[in-house]
Structures are given as C-alpha cells and as structure tokens.
Chain A
Amino acid sequence: MKPNFTQKVTNWGNFPIVEKEMRSEDSFKKIKEFVLNHNEVIARGNGRCYGDASLGENIFSTKKLNKFISFDRLNGIIECESGVLLSEVLEISVPQGYFLYVTPGTKFISIGGAIASDVHGKNHHAEGCFSEYVTEFKLMTENGDIIICSREENSDKFWATIGGMGLTGIILSAKFKLKNIETAYIRQESIKAENLDEIFRLFEESESWTYTVAWIDCLQKGKNIGRSILMRGEHAFRHELTGNDAKNPLVLKKKFSPTVPFYFPNFVLNALTVKIFNFLYYKKQSKKEVKNFTDYETFFYPLDAVTDWNKIYGKSGFIQYQMVIPKETGKEGMKKILETIANSGNGSFLAVLKLFGENNPEAYNSFPTEGYTLALDFKVNSKLKKLVDQLDQIVQEFGGRIYLTKDSMSRSSLTAYLKNVNSSKFVSLQHKRILNNK
C-alpha cells in the first residue's frame, strides 16, 4: 500500500476542517526535502490555535521535533526542539525551581507555536510576551537553509518570525529563559465586580500584581454589564506554604483528569445553558473577596484539566474571538462589545478580560498593544458570522485589532498588521484569506 499523507486537519476550534497533505519528519534533511518539493508550506505544532492559521496546502507538523537539547540548571536557560510542548518544559523545569516567564491559558501548545504567535499571559502588563525571554531560535528558510536568529544574528528574521504566524519559515528549535520559583503554588485573590466600572478600577489598582485576569459574564445587560470576577496572583514563597505543600513545594500531587468522550449534541450549549453556567460561576464565590493558595495548574490552566473540552461545542465547532482596544477608549469599546453580544443572545461560555501593558515596538508582529483585551468563545452557527461582523465593526471604530492565532473569520483590515512575512513558500490558509479579502 502506498502511503497517502492527505488527511482531515482541523485546529482546536474544529472549524474550519480541511483535507490537506500533512507530514511529520524528524531529520533536517527530510524537512528540507519537504520544503523544497512543495509549493505552499506551513508549519503546525500541536494544533491548539483556534482558527486557520496553521492550516495550508502542505502542512509540516513539528510533532516529531520533540526533543530537549540542553538545560542550564544553574541559570534557567533551556533549549529544545520546536515541537516540545510547554507542559513538557514544565514537567522538567518546575521540580528544579523554574517556571515559564510567559504562558497562555493552555500548556499544550508547542514552543514553535508560542514563538510564531508570540503568546501572552496573565502577566503581559508586567512581563510582556513570550518573545521577551527567547534568546535565539533556528529557522528553516525558503531554500531549506537553517539559520540562527537572535537579537544580534539575523535580527530582521528574528523579529519578523516573532508573532509572524509561521510565514517566515519553519522554527526548528529555540532557546529561552525561565524564571525562578520557590514553589509550584500561587497566592491568589479573587474579587467580585458588579459592573464594568468596578472591574476596570480593580485592574488599575492591581497593576503591581504579576498576574491579573478577569472572568466576565457576557450575557448581563444594563447596570450589570461587565459583572465579573478578577483573579490576581503571585508565585508563592516557600515560607508562605503550610502542611504537606510546604514539605514538597515544587511537586504537585497527581490529579484526576476527566475526558470529554464525544462531541456534545448541538442543543447542549445554548443561550439558556450558558446563562445558567455564568450565573452559577458568579454565585459560586459567595464572598466579595477570597484569598487562598492554589497550584499553578489550577491557576494557569483550568481548562487543561478536562481533556478534549473542545468537544463540548459539538461537531460544528467554535471560534475564539480575541481583540484588543487601545486603553484610552477601552472602557467605552468594551461596553459596546458586551452590549452587542448580550443583545445577540449568542453567549460565550468563557469570556476573559485583561489589561495589556505596553508592547515591545521591536516585536512589531505581536498582537498585544496597550489596552483592554477580551477573549470570547462562540459556537459556530448560522448567526455567528453576523455577530463577528458587528464586533469587527466596533473594534475597527475604536482602532483595535484581532489576535491572528484565534482568527478564522474576522475582517482583513483587523488582522493585516503583519509585516515582512510575504513569502511564496510559506503560506497559510489564513494569510491567503486575509490577502484575498483586502
């Protein structure tokens, strides 16, 4: 039987689904052959982006580039191949007292993906994007050459690749710094906010905290608009822990992790169930303010605890919609966005609000800019395109932009901020869509 590498490929949102060639190789020679023998190539890590960014005519999966190269345990500098997942880095770094400087809301993304998306986390205002801590990476370019990119060497390619959505080549490996931690725990405070004014005030008051994020109930209307819970946290010090946690502060107990066994039928998630969920989530915390300690997995990756949680959205899939609106007009813009969503009845199961700090002007392809960012998930249905269009309109009016890593249907003007990435070799479906709709 002759191998056939064409297969159905889709990312975490299960939308869109394409039938394209996908290959995975672990030798540089074979990767080069793949690049040279195909016209439109795009690299794909663990497929945890939501939209069509890692889909293309010929997909190169970095799944087999999954080896560690070095770990300087004294200075916390690690080097690994691009298909290594953040979870795998944490597995070896946490027991040694090191954590990722920047992590998104899932640990199941690859290092290559983290660079290509220049991911951000709950500490953007304090510590910036993932790229701040990347010292160098190896990139395979159009003609199959492997070049080292850093701030000094090939710095033009270095900055174009950061947040460059894989359009500059295939990232093969990377070296990055880790941060010291004394424990695997987070000192956390959760504060309830009645409305938008209050949550914005809380964000500004919490600027000295390393990690801040708010969960927001996006179905509230009128005076309740912006009802939310702010969570802020710091890595706990050893002396702060008590009991068993203090004895073994860098090792977490093994937890049960349930799996969603099948795609939920379409009727499970609807305006009413989302409303009930949001109501219960808000009411779960009875006090205005709760202070406690939690392990890093619960704090950073609550959704990772449920394997295949994307199946909850059913077979038609879902999208994530994440935008940023500049700080000056952020509040007004958010209000409009939330009103539009509430009126549409197309609720979001999980809506996350965050205040981005200043951006690094050198990393010109990175999504975060100073301002308010909201991430929402919406089930794909017949009304969704219209809602996305309405939201896009507001984002445009307020001078905001859309996060490419989660985009699959927004208007091109909001996602066309990428520079220095036009290549005839490395092309994604997303980039083609954006260029065609310009």
Chain B
Amino acid sequence: MIVLGSTSEVAQAFVEKALQEGEKFERIYLFTSNRETTERFARHIDVKFLQQSEIIELDLTKTINYSEFDQINSSVLFCATGYLGEGTEEGLYDNKNTERIIDINYSKLVPVMNYFAQKFESRRSGTIIGLSSVAGDRGRQSNFIYGSAKAAFTAYLSGLRNYLFEKKVHVMTVKPGFMATKMTEGLPLNPKLTVTPKKAAECIYKAFKKQKNIVYVLPIWGVIMLIIRNIPEFIFKKLKL
C-alpha cells in the first residue's frame, strides 16, 4: 500500500483496519513530511502486525525527485494529504498561506497522484482512494481557499475515475465531513456530525471493499451537502456559512 500523508490519523487508522482485516501488503510505503511521527507509526505496525514498511520523505512545498519513487509499486494508494491553513478572516489575503493550501491540497499533490496513477494504469488493477472534503462541494465564506482546492481535487478524482475505469483501476473519493483530528482539534464541531478517525477508517474500508465511487463518511453529510449545493445563489451569498 502507498500512503500519502502518513501522519494523518485517518490514514493510520485505515492501515490498521486493513491489516486487522487480514489484507496482505508486502510493504507499506509511508510518504510523509514528518519523519519522527511516521517512524513511530512504522514501528507500531511492525510490533502489532509484523508489517514491514518504508518511510519516504515527501514535502509538497519543495521540488520533487520522482526517480526516488521508481521502485515503488502497490495495488492500493491511500491519499490523506491535506492542509487546512488559516480560514478567511486570518489568512485570506496572506499569499503564503494561500499558496501553501493550494499546493498541498491540489497543485503539487496532483502530479504525485498522476505519477502513481500511471503505474496503476500499466498494471491494469488496483484502487486509488483520495480524501477530499465536503468543503469542496460549495465555496463558503469560512474556508473557501481550502474549499476551492478540495473542489479541484474532487474534480480531479472524478475525472481520473472516469479515465481509469476502462483500465480496470478503481478510484474512490472520500468526503469525511467533520473529523476529530489534529487538523480540527479545538474547533467547535457538532459532536453529532463528527466522527473519530477510527470510525471514519472503518467506513472507508467498507466502501473500499464494495468499490464505492463517492463516499460521505457520515451519510447525514450527503444530505446536508445536497441542501447546501441547492440553495439558490442569491440567498446563499447572504448566508453566514
């Protein structure tokens, strides 16, 4: 398995869930910009599941040397890379913040995804799982830079799914909704709309086995976003969402 964003709690929970369910991986490639935290996880899965893994440093804000990824091959790719950045009030006109959000969530991420997508295409098998966000379903004033990058990522995954369908590669888009993770710690999330990374991973694993296309981790988010998408623009622009 290839994991992009290995310090993500959902990614780690997904790896654990898959191993618990008896999935076999010769090696797990843990891509990360934070070696220390990822090393702890690598040791953890080695102790718990006797699972071999390899840590590969990947910083999406820097130039990427693709030749280092030559030997890497797998039938599952799990992409949990993401960066929330500062919301509108604090960070809207801070270009550094804006660039970073777009780089990590979309512009620098997509070439990396494409690099591996090509490998999947030539194998003619496998599953690519991308974590996008409900924030990408419609731009809202509270976090639309992040939302726009995620919207682009959602569109990318949708197109990729379409393109790779004939090539026997499955692409799954996951929209987790609120998750209690590092990214959202301390934010006032409605507990009824929030899942733990562990619960989210269980749901994603189930969807992975069923080869779903688009997954809202909590079904209620599908309903909420359906409503939000369908509010007429002349009303929507006045709302404080």
A2 to B40, CA, bound (A): 29
Q: State whether the Cβ of B187 lies closer than 8 Å to any Cβ in chain A.
A: yes
CB-contact partner of B44 in A23, A24, A64, A68, under 8 A? A68
Q: State whether the Cβ of B162 lies closer than 8 Å to any Cβ in chain A.
A: no
Which chain B residues in 25-48 approach chain A with CB under 8 Å? 36-37, 40-41, 43-44, 47-48
A64 to B37, CA, bound (A): 11
**What secondary structure prevails in chain A residues at the interface with B?**
mixed
A68 to B147, CA, bound (A): 36
**What secondary structure prevails in chain B residues at the interface with A?**
helix
CB distance from B32 to the nearest CB of A (A): 13
The answer to whether B186 and A69 touch across the interface, beta carbons within 8 angstroms, is: no
**Quick one: closest A residue to B40, CB to CB?**
A67
User: Per-residue CB proximity of B169-189 to A under 8 Å, as 1/0?
Assistant: 000000000000010011110
Q: State whether the Cβ of A280 lies closer than 8 Å to any Cβ in chain B.
A: no
The residues of A that contact B36 with a CB separation of less than 8 Å are 27
The answer to whether B186 and A4 touch across the interface, beta carbons within 8 angstroms, is: yes
Q: State whether the Cβ of A290 lies closer than 8 Å to any Cβ in chain B.
A: no
Q: Give the size range of A's interface with the partner.
A: 10 to 19
With A27-B36, A27-B37, A67-B41 already in contact, the answer to whether A1 and B47 are too (CB < 8 A) is: no
**Quick one: closest A residue to B7, CB to CB?**
A26
With A1-B142, A26-B37, A27-B37 already in contact, the answer to whether A71 and B185 are too (CB < 8 A) is: no
Q: State whether the Cβ of A268 lies closer than 8 Å to any Cβ in chain B.
A: no
A-B contact pairs, 25 of them (CB 8 A): A1-B87, A1-B142, A2-B90, A3-B187, A4-B186, A4-B187, A4-B188, A5-B185, A23-B185, A26-B40, A27-B36, A64-B182, A67-B41, A68-B43, A68-B44, A68-B47, A68-B48, A69-B40, A69-B43, A69-B47, A70-B43, A70-B47, A71-B47, A81-B40, A92-B48
Chain B contact residues, CB within 8 Å of chain A:
36-37, 40-41, 43-44, 47-48, 87, 90, 142, 182, 185-188
Chain A contact residues, CB within 8 Å of chain B:
1-5, 23-24, 26-27, 64, 67-71, 80-81, 92
Knowing that A1-B188, A70-B47, A80-B47 touch, tell me 16 more A-B residue pairs with CB under 8 angstroms.
A1-B87, A1-B142, A2-B90, A3-B187, A4-B187, A4-B188, A23-B185, A24-B185, A64-B182, A67-B40, A67-B44, A68-B47, A69-B44, A69-B47, A70-B43, A81-B40
